[in-house]
Amino acid sequence: MALPASASKLPPFSLLDEPLLVFSPEKADDLDVHPLRGLSRYGPFSKGSFGAFTANVRVATVGPDSAFKQRGTLLAMLRNSLQPTDRTEYVPTYPGFESLFHVGLVSAPPATHIRWPDSLSQLDGQGTLEQRLYQAMDAALRRLEAMRNEFDVVVVHFPDAWGPATRSMELDAHDALKALGAKYNIPTQVINDRAFNFRHRASLAWRLAIALYVKAGGIPWKLARVPSVPDETAYIGLAYALRGDQRDAHFVTCCSQVFDMDGGGMQFVAFEARDPVTDLEEAKRNPFLSRDDMRAVLARSLTLYQDRNGGSLPKRLVIHKTTAFKTEELDGAFDALAGIPEVECIEIGGRTNWRGVWLIDSGRQVPPSKPSAYPVPRGTVVVRSGVSALLWVAGNAPDASTTGNYYQGKKSIPKPLLLTRHAGRGPLEVVAAEALALSKMDWNNDALYDPVPVSIRYSQKLARTIANVPDLPGKVYPYRLFM
């Protein structure tokens, strides 16, 4: 006979405040939870310094000859004020590039605009269409390198008709372009035909304007201090990629620079692991580093932090990655970080089976509650055990809306992140608050948040690029080269 189900309860949940962003290094009150609203009200964080070395963001272009005027029209649009036509509860009026960032947006000199033939088969070079396209990208950036003082950012247009060659088994043109940009120290912005045809012009302008400003060296916002987070905390994000001959594959760990508490520090360390993979299938399921390799990559990352902070070390360091920390990795981490009093190793997993429904007062005695029309609030935390907690990074964010509720994307029931602590101590709500705050530091879009913390997102981007472009050297790179 079946036994009756025993009653069970989830532990009480916590609800974290929406993290604040700061838009000035001097004015402590230039704060907002909403990145676009904050930019409109206060201007960018670097407004006092960016304009001191350039009065304008100068844009060079590369793309098919027939779309040259369209590229110019698109950039000219960014100088105009535009009213939102989608997500109107979230997207404010786009005020124009100069009003927004306090610097102009101009076309770079004519020599910096490179026009390709309209057909891939007409590109110079030899080999397959993919090989010709790669050679054309390399030649364009090499030519622009000789005029580096004439521009700040390059907009590169891949038309939709080139799709079979821009994303094939042989070439990922986006990642190859970013790797070439890193080689020549040239920030690039990729566009496709959708940029010319997208009907929600204000949303397009917000996204493209922020990206161009950041790639030119600007800082749109930083994180305000999170009250529960100890002073002098820093963060490292790790992601792994396999590259090389699969019969002798090696790990490459991609480590974003140690982030300061305000989210600053936008550089990567690309590190080639020395110990070869012994079990490729296991490596694909749960990649990890040897003790020596973990010690080496963290020591190199910590050097970047010290270079940025006058030789000093953080008092607390939090390491994020998406897979479990093996014992060897933990030993290597503590070897490298022996001078830091408090170290936390946090696994951030997005593949959970958990879901949540937010219940509200039904206005009746039976049943007393009913499901809300909006999902669980963003910032909801449920502690599952002494070492793990669920965090809803995606969810309802009413503080970012003019109508009282806002669910980014408006699709499906959001999944929580599963945070698992492999080393460290203290309340898991603090670990969750940090992850929630770092989800607001991706400058490559106009969204309120990214589904994962920036410490994870940035290192994943370089890992993907390295996987697609195996000959990218393992060294330090500014993040803006890979946006």
Statement to judge: residues 351 and 441 lie in one domain: yes
Burial class (CB in 10 A: 0-12, 13-18, 19+), 54: middle
Statement to judge: residues 323 and 462 lie in one domain: yes
Statement to judge: residues 229 and 209 lie in one domain: no
Per-residue pLDDT tens digits for 425-468: 999 999 999 999 999 999 988 999 999 999 898 888 887 787 77
Share of the chain above pLDDT 90, in %: 69
Residue ending a domain, among 155, 180, 215, is 215
- Secondary structure of 110-148 as H, E, C letters: HHHEEEECCCHHHCCCCCCHHHHHHHHHHHHHHHHHCCH
CATH of residue 303: 3.30.420.10
Q: Considering the domain boundaries, does residue 70 fall inside one?
A: yes
Statement to judge: residues 187 and 78 lie in one domain: yes
Pick from 254, 297, 307, 257: nearest CA to 274: 297
Statement to judge: residues 150 and 250 lie in one domain: no
Statement to judge: residues 133 and 229 lie in one domain: no
Q: Helices 201-215 and 68-77 meet at what angle, rounded to 10?
A: 90
Q: Which single residue is written with the structure tokens 């960016």?
A: 50
Pick from 177, 163, 155, 294: nearest CA to 236: 294
Domain range for 439 is 224-481
Statement to judge: residues 171 and 235 lie in one domain: no
Q: Considering the domain boundaries, does residue 437 fall inside one?
A: yes
Between 280 and 451, the higher pLDDT residue = 451
Residue ending a domain, among 171, 190, 215, is 215
Residue ending a domain, among 167, 196, 215, is 215
pLDDT score of 457: 87
Pick from 68, 86, 24: nearest CA to 50: 24
Q: Considering the domain boundaries, does residue 38 fall inside one?
A: no
Statement to judge: residues 294 and 333 lie in one domain: yes
Scanning 237-373, the segments in alpha helix (DSSP H) are 280-285, 291-308, 327-336
pLDDT score of 99: 97
Q: Report, as an integer, the average pLDDT of 393-414.
A: 93
Statement to judge: residues 161 and 188 lie in one domain: yes
- The count of domains in the chain is 2
Q: Considering the domain boundaries, does residue 334 fall inside one?
A: yes
Statement to judge: residues 307 and 420 lie in one domain: yes
Statement to judge: residues 319 and 441 lie in one domain: yes
Per-residue pLDDT tens digits for 211-223: 999 999 999 999 9
Q: Considering the domain boundaries, does residue 41 fall inside one?
A: no
pLDDT score of 244: 55
Statement to judge: residues 245 and 114 lie in one domain: no
Q: Report, as an integer, the average pLDDT of 34-55.
A: 93
CB 45 within 8 A of CB 220: yes
Task: Name the range with the highest mean pLDDT among 35-39, 228-232, 251-255, 297-301.
Answer: 35-39
Cβ atoms within 10 Å of 12's Cβ, excluding its own: 8
Q: Considering the domain boundaries, does residue 6 fall inside one?
A: no
Pick from 425, 328, 339: nearest CA to 386: 425
CATH of residue 167: 3.40.50
